[in-house]
Amino acid sequence: MAHCSSAELEARLRLHSLPDIGPQRFYRLIEVFASAQEAFNAPASAWRAIGMPHSSIEARRSDMVREQALLGLRWAEHARNHIVLHDMPNYPALLKETAAAPPLLFVQGAVSILETPQLAVVGSRRASRPSLDTAHSFAKSLAQGGFTITSGLALGVDAAAHQGALDAQGLTIAVVGTGLNQVYPARHRGLLRDIIEQGGAVVSELALNSAPHASHFPRRNRIISGLALGVLVVEASPSSGSLITARLAAEQGREVYAIPGSIHSPGARGCHQLIRDGATLIETVGDILESLQGWQLVAPSVETQGQTTLALEPDPVAPAEPEHPVLELLKARPLEIDQLVEQSELSLAQLLNLLTDFEINGNVSREGSLWLYRKA
């Protein structure tokens, strides 16, 4: 779908607000009735025939559901607020590949950065000071290396990772477990503001006024891992929600990285378990960049005030040859990322790394959702 009418957008927001309508049922309704508008025009018997629950059918005419949709439409009138639909060109391609991808996303800030190469950094809310310093320095270095840092705005490692990216003058995305009219935890109101003002974004699939609830955070975690090329776990106990994010990342075919800790630290046991299960053991930022290729550590670490700062720059690859198949595709016409994946027969992760190299060398540029060829 290249364009969505306001009536269809309102219908999708209503559908999204119905009780017991998750992604699979949402997509089933669109598949059967061709649009959300037609789904709402269909009789209750048609919904029952395809297995929709009674609670959803009864709520279709609810004033509360309609008010939620109108609230979303009014919210999206502000310039920095966006509703990104699953079948629109600006929906993040990596997330779209995942099972049960959100039918829509509420985004506050720069919606275009959802398509940038991302690394998720997650860990304990009650992390030790050394782990917080590690999360900050890794995020700062990775942001300096051109990656957008994605995390969950939680206390502890999440906040340190977001701040590290900001301190590098880099980009960061906060995926939250509340609606975007809520800030949780409240003490991160300033951090959230800084993320948006520095060109980042805050993302949620939840209705705008949704309060924090335990069931929301595993749902949030699948978005964090789904947006990213890989997930770095800095410190986590075996029961930490960060291990859920890591498990989801593995199921989604993403890279999983874990930083080991002391055998005497309960907070290290989750990372040790991940390593036993096949996660890549990480000691330096270079370990991550090496696994993703196209990037390398070029300067030794410099110890400053007990913290490690790593200088990074793109891997000095030779300028891409004009006859590279991907460049030939873009010379013919500008393409969106999903079109490039289909026509190049490369994986999305491979293509993103390649395009990053081409962009650094001046061979390509991006305008909105389109990649364009540039003469060297």
- The model's pLDDT over 201-251, given as tens digits with 9 standing for 90+, comes to 999 999 999 999 999 999 999 999 999 999 999 999 888 889 999 999 999
Backbone angles phi, psi at 240, to 5 degrees: -70, 145
User: Which three-class secondary structure state does DSSP give residue 82?
Assistant: strand
pLDDT of residue 7: 95
DSSP 158-178: HHHHHHHHHHTT--EEEE-SS
Residue 14 structural domain? 1-77
Distance between CA atoms of residues 374 and 215, nearest Å: 46
Q: Work out the pLDDT band at 365, boundaries 50, 70, 90.
A: confident
Tell whether 95 is covered by a domain.
Answer: no
Alpha helices in 121-227 (DSSP H): 129-144, 157-167, 189-197, 216-227
CATH number of the domain at 355, please.
1.10.10.10
Distance between CA atoms of residues 111 and 120, nearest Å: 17
Residues 245 and 368 in one domain: no
- Which string of b and e fits 78-97 if b means at least 16 CB within 10 Å? eeebbbbbbeebbbbbbbee
User: For 19-37, what is the mean pLDDT?
Assistant: 96
Sign of CA dihedral 235, 126, 137, 144: positive
Sign of CA dihedral 163, 165, 170, 175: negative
Bigger pLDDT: 324 or 194?
194
Residue (of 9, 33, 157, 148) closest to 85 by Cα position: 9
Residues 135 and 279 in one domain: yes
Where is the domain boundary, 77, 102, 130? Answer: 77
Where is the domain boundary, 284, 314, 344? Answer: 314
Instruction: Report the range of poorest mean pLDDT among 27-36, 193-202, 207-216, 315-324.
Output: 315-324
244 vs 236, 276, 301, 356, CA distance in Å?
11, 16, 31, 29
Backbone angles phi, psi at 114, to 5 degrees: -65, -20
Residues 61 and 178 in one domain: no
pLDDT of residue 293: 67
Residues 231 and 209 in one domain: yes
Tell whether 253 is covered by a domain.
Answer: yes
Distance between CA atoms of residues 48 and 17, nearest Å: 18
Residues 278 and 329 in one domain: no
Residue (of 148, 210, 166) closest to 352 by Cα position: 148
Residues 185 and 301 in one domain: yes
Residues 127 and 234 in one domain: yes
Residues 228 and 173 in one domain: yes
Residues 155 and 298 in one domain: yes
The answer for residues whose C-beta is within 8 angstroms of residue 268's C-beta and 6 or more apart is 235, 260, 261, 262
Tell whether 105 is covered by a domain.
Answer: no
User: For 129-135, what is the mean pLDDT?
Assistant: 95
Segment (H or E) for 263: none
Residues of the chain above pLDDT 70, percent: 90
Residues 171 and 273 in one domain: yes
Residues 335 and 309 in one domain: no
Tell whether 230 is covered by a domain.
Answer: yes
Rounded mean pLDDT of the chain?
Answer: 88
**How much is the pTM?**
0.78
Residue 22, pLDDT > 90, answer: yes
Describe the crossing of helices 269-276 and 241-251 by its angle, rounded to 10 degrees: 20
Residues 226 and 365 in one domain: no
User: For 275-279, what is the mean pLDDT?
Assistant: 95
Residue 186 per-residue DSSP state = G
Tell whether 333 is covered by a domain.
Answer: yes
**What tokens were used for 251?**
């199921």
Exposure of 75 in the CB half-sphere (CA atoms within 13 A): 24
pLDDT digits over 55-97, tens only?
999 999 999 999 999 999 999 999 999 999 999 999 999 999 9
pLDDT of residue 302: 32
Q: Work out the pLDDT band at 266, boundaries 50, 70, 90.
A: confident
pLDDT of residue 307: 36
The total number of structural domains that make up the chain: 3
